[in-house]
A and B are shown apart, each in its own frame.
Chain A
Amino acid sequence: MRVNCIINGKPRCFEVDASMKLRQMLLLNGNFAVRDSDDSEGFCGSDTVLVDGTPVFSNLVLAAEVDGCEIRTPDGLGNSRNLTIVQQAMIDAGVVQSAYNAPAAALLLTWLLENNPDPTKEDIRDALSGIFIRDAGYEHYYLAVRLALEKMKDGSYKSEIAPSFRPELDVIGKPASKIDGPQLVSGERAFVEDYVTPDTCYMAVLRSPHASAYINSIDDSEARKVEGVVEVLTAFNTPETHYMQAGQGNPEPSPHDRRLFNLKVRHVGDRVAAVIAETLEAAKEACSKIKVDYEVLPAVFTVEDAMAPGAPLVHNGIVEYRSGAPEDLDEYNKLAGDPREGKVIYQFPLHADIRKNIAASNKGEIGNVDEAFARSDAVVEATYQTSQIQHTPLEPHICFAKMEGGRLVVYASTQVPYHVRRIVGWVTGLPENRIHVIKTRVGGGYGSKQDILIEDLTSYASFVTGRPVFCRNTREEEFIANSTRHPMRVHVKMSGNKDGRLTGIYMEVCANTGPYGNHCLTVPMNSCSKTLPLFRCDNMRYDLKVYYTNTPPAGAYQGYGTPKGTYGLMMAMAELADKLGIDYKEFVLKNHVDEGYMLEILKGLGEGREGNVVPVGSCGLDEAIRKGCDMIEWGKKETCDDPDWKIGKGFAMIMQGSGLPGLDHSEAIAKLETDGTVILNSGGADIGTGLDTISAKIVAEVLKLPMDKITVVSGDTDSCAFDTGSYASSGTFFSGNASLAATRKLKDMIIREAAFQMQEDEADLEVRYPGEIYSQKTGKTLSYYDLSHTACGGAGHGQMIAHGTFVTDASSVPYGAHFAQVAVNVRTGEIKVQKFYALQDAGTPINPEVALCQMYGAVMKSIGHTLHEDMILDKEGRCVNANMTDYGVPMISEAPEDFKAVLIDVNDKFGPFGAKSISEIACNGAAPAIGIAIHDACGIWLRSWPMTPEKVLKELGKF
């Protein structure tokens, strides 16, 4: 069929078949910014275009339907050098973060303002109701519209974008455009899929239909006959190397308990085979022709199943230790089962017992908890259950690998490029010098791209075939074959006295790590290590066990274990306040830590090693609690005209970390180019959070150089130096400090060289905006341009290049308090979050507008986890809602009507320019704040996620 249409003002003609979607046709036309986040589900809106002036999902339109139509795509707006007012306003408002569908959002806002020059908040909400924003939330989209309108009407912005911090600094702590914003918002080449070459092969993965089964045999003969098939990979023709996929430190505590393909599948969706073919269709067809003979085994899906005596074992093979093997290991290994079980290799002991499905465990205590319970006026004890949650990044897991000059080049959407390189090295046997990982822009990570879930297999496929190979998870695969948030059962016992003093805390954490042990120790440890140090309490004990099960795998997720621990502890604290007859606010204020309090509890809470006992550093916790209570009018009872709706308020104090002191490591290289501009090579991985902008601002601040004279190259393992990556809230603190160290060294070099060239004393020289050296003694100046030009001339000292490294034992902990006001319908069980106030101490927020958006985005995620999101498995272990619509992510319709993020101004001693982390902590508060508010509204304690209307009604005894 012939389609004549106009695309972005230009006439175009296509030959299409009946089934071709409009998006496919647009891709043929080069409009690659029309993206796909949901495999044609009509949900996420990444595929939004305008057809004859109306926004539609291009994946739900057949190409033949647009014959004679006029089509506008996101890339038809401005380009990065000539942005439209709307695109620029989005960047300035801070909403362009991971930005996979930011171009689509820009198109929608452009359409809105073209058709409604004076939109209300409701109009904006309506326009954005078809687009899923996971990273930045929706609040600053309202601001973006306001800014755009101001610019259109008055030529400049009138509204404040975000508060500014540190008046003595030029760019740090001030809103400024994110440096990758123009590229991202305009839909230019940025993501892995944009770099795929025409000769690329596609990979499809055959996945297990069983939760647990041995593979007896695989017959791939018919699959290999499919035209275009290049290779079929299975457990029978791939290495027996055991490894793990967690990208965190080295050695990382997670057990090496998997191969590329195992002879035992351990969850529905586990890898069975992979087909590499010249087209995706051929790869899929070949997958369907692979015959697998399974020996189906019984499975376990919950920690209760897994811990039951005689429970089926998820791993029952040989156990090895790289260090610290127990003396009875040989005896233990005599109990190993079928050889197809494979091995579990521990890097060091994790107090595991795979014959009881225990992947790891730990416990510790300060003071005497039992004695405290016995002597206290009141004790509460309750169990809190959290569910399995998927990250749902807009860009699914994706990888493109190719062999080039005998080296493996891997384009990865990853938070940890250097760990990708290391793990790809393990599975291919290549040394690191022969692997080049290029981290592209990342269309959403949230922890899931901290794990090497797709890069291992894609890279191996390219390595063995010699062909470029591309692999992109389907949305269903994102649910069933990725990492997820560990479901946890947190049992809390807490005691206090009527004078308002907390006397004892015990928490038992049982975590479900699924079939493999990615982050199996560290996530549950985090449930304790990032929660117990909030409390001024002398008697605390924790006991955690992590179980293998046959559910979809668990791993890192923004907040790590902290949201679950915070939920249990803060709910228990509210229950205890209730029992003691004390106002919860006063109880919290009396028992939280503040600066200088010695955190003895940290002694046993290292990540697989002894922890550092340190005093609390900079801490805005008290201010956050008091300010938030004022904002939400704590103590004032709200009512509704409809007697079925009851209103309540709640809050929770929260903390996180800023990277892992003693474990994380960052490096940067700062180069003064020959024209006086600077290129900073940062090992840090900007995953949309503005880390590159932070590095650029640090350079600008130290060297007094305009931002447009600074370029940051990051996450490229060839050109940059090592960095452990973006996880555990490490970006600003670790990578930022490495950038600062490199830049300060470069400044020293500049001063030294200038002293030589100017024949002055170094002590008399200073750097000055816009990039020059000034002599306070003689008044002479020398531009960076002239300085570098001379240095790189035949008689100079050469290019000025500085290398900065950052490691530390210091902890910079962000604190905060999150507040919710909810309305609960006691007749129908419906829950509405009317107000949500997030107050956080981020030290010096280097990019304040970006920081605020990350708070909004993280809170939206945690509201989703609290009220809506849940991976539901049937009795066979199949996820029955492995799609966006049924899974239940919150969108703009679910956002609180009154939603505020507030930055508490605290200057930190160790962070770059006083900065601490910002984003991850914002995942921690919603569940307890909402849970406590629900209790305040209608008197029930909801002790499991998600807090659904059905659970409300059950607790109220309605049925």
Chain B
Amino acid sequence: MAEIRQLIMARTAESAVALKGRRSAFLAGGTEINRLGSTVEASRLIGIGRIDALDGIDKITDEENGIEYVRIGAMSSFQDIIESSIVPSYLKEACLFMGSRTKRNMATIGGNIALRRTDSYLYATLLACNAKLSLMCRDGAIIRRCAKGYLEDHEEYRDMLITEILVPAEATVASKRYSNTAQSHAVLTVSAAEIDGVLRIAVAAKDTFLGLLPEISAEFSGRIPSDEELLQMVASDGKLCFRDDMFGSSRYKRYLLSVTIADLAKKVRGGR
């Protein structure tokens, strides 16, 4: 648990960002920061639960590409998202991966993204659907980055505040989570989406990797690789250095990832 010495409840996003420093962290839903064994280390917390601008869920159309997105305030809880009539079902499904309703009432989409955990409930789905994030900079300016960019260049964004998340209103996305029980940490969460005819496969592999698998995704161009081929691809993908641990053997994880990729790819492409 973080050793908290100061808590400041910010009233605006701008003031929250202005307060952010090296030993501080934004306090969203609190399910991680206040949790036993939290990985967040901060002596000062900036509470962002009272900032109205971080709430709300609505639809917008991207002026550049004309795509309709659902815009989700970063402080929307998992349960807010599930109960929304406009959030696409694929994201609701991912929110339901969090087995505890009480925790879903507390955990926020912005907080879950900022943690970038390898057992993240949502990140694989957000990567696969190519979600966009709005980030507030120290000067109050808003920049927009894709979920992939936020993940890969996190150091650049660490003092910025996620204000909203945009997910495609219409997309074919399928996700699958594996865990011992519904409440346990996931060993593997895999998501596949077909965006502009291109398959995007993302994975959250516990203590191993969080991100997209572009090389494997590319192998689905015009064909569906066999299970054996996929197992070989997973085994040879340098990002997927699975280890034997309490969640299972590396061989098990590689096998599971490969068959799940195959199944989800078929699912989003209208196969089995």
Contact = CB atoms under 8 A, between A and B. Distances in A.
State which size class the interface on A falls in: 35 or more
Interface in A571-630: none
Contact of B4 (A62, A131, A953): A62
B180 interface: yes
Contact of B248 (A18, A39, A886, A950): A950
B214 interface: no
A21 interface: yes
Contacts of B182: 129, 891, 893-894
B101 A885 contact: no
Contacts of A129: 99-102, 182
A64 B246 CA distance: 37
Contacts of B185: 885-886
Interface in B4-55: 4-7, 9, 27, 30-31, 34-37, 45, 47, 49
Nearest to B34: A60
A65 B47 contact: yes
B248 A891 contact: no
A42 B180 contact: no
A893 B183 contact: yes
A38 B37 CA distance: 11
Q: Name A's interface SS.
A: loop
A61 B30 contact: yes
A41 B34 CA distance: 8
A792 to B, nearest CB: 54
B69 to A, nearest CB: 27
Nearest to A49: B102
Nearest to A43: B183
A18 B5 contact: yes
Contact of A890 (B6, B49, B181, B260): B181
Contacts of B36: 38-42, 475, 883
A138 to B, nearest CB: 13
A54 interface: yes
Contacts of A126: 101
A19 interface: yes
A868 interface: yes
Nearest to A871: B246
A888 B100 contact: no
Contact of B101 (A59, A65, A130, A829): A130
Interface stretch (B87-95, B166-174, B249-257): B249-257
A461 B34 CA distance: 33
B1 interface: yes
A553 interface: no
Contacts of B103: 42, 57, 60, 130
B100 A42 contact: yes
B105 interface: yes
Interface in A916-959: 948-950, 953-954, 958-959
Interface in A111-135: 126-131
Interface string A23-66: 00000000000000011111101001000001111011110110
Contact of B246 (A45, A868, A881): A881
A388 B146 CA distance: 45
Nearest to B258: A959
A56 B106 contact: yes
B137 interface: no
Contacts of A131: 102
Interface residues of B, number: 43
Interface string B175-197: 00010111111000000000000
B259 interface: yes
Contacts of A60: 30-31, 34-35, 103, 106
Contacts, number: 141
Nearest to B99: A893
A828 interface: yes
Contacts of A128: 101
A127 B101 contact: yes
Given A55-B102, A131-B102, A950-B248, A21 B181 contact: no
Interface string A386-398: 0000000000000
Contacts of B68: none
A902 B267 CA distance: 41
A872 interface: yes
Given A62-B4, A130-B100, A886 B246 contact: yes
B255 A958 contact: yes
Contacts of A886: 180, 184-185, 246
Contacts of A880: 246
A62 B27 contact: yes
Interface string B145-156: 000000000000
A889 interface: yes
B34 A64 contact: no
B35 A45 contact: no
Contacts of A12: none
B2 to A, nearest CB: 8
A61 B49 CA distance: 11
A43 B260 CA distance: 28
A56 B34 contact: no
B4 A19 contact: yes
Contacts of A890: 181
A827 interface: yes
A1 interface: yes
Given A129-B100, A959-B251, A57 B106 contact: yes
Contact of B30 (A18, A65, A881, A884): A65
Contacts of B34: 21, 40, 42, 59-62
Contact of A42 (B31, B252, B255): B31
B206 to A, nearest CB: 10
B3 interface: yes
A55 B9 CA distance: 21
A646 to B, nearest CB: 16
Interface in B84-137: 99-103, 105-106
Contact of A885 (B1, B47, B184, B252): B184
Contact of A888 (B6, B49, B181, B248): B181
A959 B181 contact: no
A19 to B, nearest CB: 4
A230 B97 CA distance: 48
A536 B122 CA distance: 56
Contacts of B3: 19
A889 B179 CA distance: 12
Contacts of A868: 180-181, 184
B246 A872 contact: yes
B178 A883 contact: no
Contacts of B252: 949-950, 953-954, 959
A43 B183 CA distance: 8
Interface string B47-68: 1010000000000000000000
A21 B35 CA distance: 11
> Which one of B1, B102, B185, B248 has the greatest number of beta carbons of chain A within 10 Å?
B102
A18 B1 CA distance: 13
23 contacts: A1-B7, A18-B45, A21-B34, A40-B36, A41-B36, A42-B36, A42-B103, A43-B100, A45-B100, A55-B105, A57-B31, A60-B106, A65-B7, A65-B30, A108-B102, A127-B101, A475-B36, A828-B259, A872-B246, A880-B246, A886-B246, A888-B184, A949-B252
Interface of A: 1, 18-19, 21, 38-43, 45, 48, 54-57, 59-62, 64-65, 67, 108, 126-131, 475, 827-830, 868, 872, 880-881, 883-886, 888-891, 893-894, 948-950, 953-954, 958-959
Interface of B: 1, 3-7, 9, 27, 30-31, 34-37, 45, 47, 49, 99-103, 105-106, 178, 180-185, 231, 246, 248-249, 251-252, 254-256, 259-260, 263
- 3 closest A-B pairs by CB: A130-B102, A893-B182, A130-B100
Given A19-B3, A65-B49, 19 more contacts: A18-B45, A19-B7, A42-B31, A42-B100, A55-B105, A60-B31, A62-B34, A65-B9, A129-B101, A868-B184, A872-B246, A881-B246, A886-B180, A886-B185, A891-B99, A893-B99, A894-B182, A949-B252, A959-B231
